[in-house]
Amino acid sequence: MSIRSAIVRRAIDVAALLAEVQETANGATVAFVGHVREVNDGRAVTGIEYSAYGEMAERELAAIASECASAYGIAHLAIEHRLGTLTLGEASIAIVVAHAHRAPAYEASRFIIEEVKRRLPIWKREGYVDGSSEWVNASGVPQAGAAQEHRT
């Protein structure tokens, strides 16, 4: 049994997470990696700053991992969510799930990312090529007008 989740402030090493869940009983390993995309809602993005209610985010992520393990019979999974300023292409989250068979592994991976999006107290502020930045809401759309900030 290897169930681990962490909020980190360094680059995510996906290969290390894959190695962590390796076990000959598992016939399937699913890795999901979320990273910073160059365009959001039609605007050119330069990077994203992730912030969190750290203590609660750690707890919620651990709860999601534990619920996932029970619901899908997963004995080997690793999740890391990164905070801080990320540039284009950098991984903000990696979810690695291993199981004897592929179906539970895929379902468990999907469950984790959807729960993260629904309840993990983490926020992101997108920076754009024009120098402005905005908080992004749960649907991934910048909050127009709200807390908008322009670099001087």
Partner 1 sequence: MTVTALLFASYAEALGSDRLELAFPGSATVGEVVAQLRALPGGAALPPSPLVAVNLTYARADQRVANGDEVAIIPPVAGG
DSSP 78: E
> How many chain residues touch partner 1 (CB under 8 A)?
32
- Part in contact with partner 1 (CB under 8 A); list of ranges 16-24, 49-57, 65-73, 98-106: 49-57
- Distance in angstroms (rounded) separating the CA atoms of residues 103 and 116: 20
Q: Whole-number minimum distance, CB 15 to partner 1, in Å?
A: 21
Pattern 120-149, partner 1, x by CB under 8 A: xxxxxx---------xxxx-x--x--xx-x
DSSP 1: -
In the chain, helix, strand, coil percent, each to 5? 30, 40, 30
- Distance in angstroms (rounded) separating the CA atoms of residues 107 and 125: 29
Which residues ranging from 66 to 125 are in contact with partner 1 (CB under 8 A)? 81, 92-93, 113, 116-125
Which tokens in the block code for residue 55?
């203590």
CB atoms within 10 A of CB 59: 14
Q: Whole-number minimum distance, CB 33 to partner 1, in Å?
A: 11
Q: Whole-number minimum distance, CB 2 to partner 1, in Å?
A: 22
Residues that bind partner 1 (CB under 8 A): 34, 50-53, 55-57, 59, 81, 92-93, 113, 116-125, 135-138, 140, 143, 146-147, 149
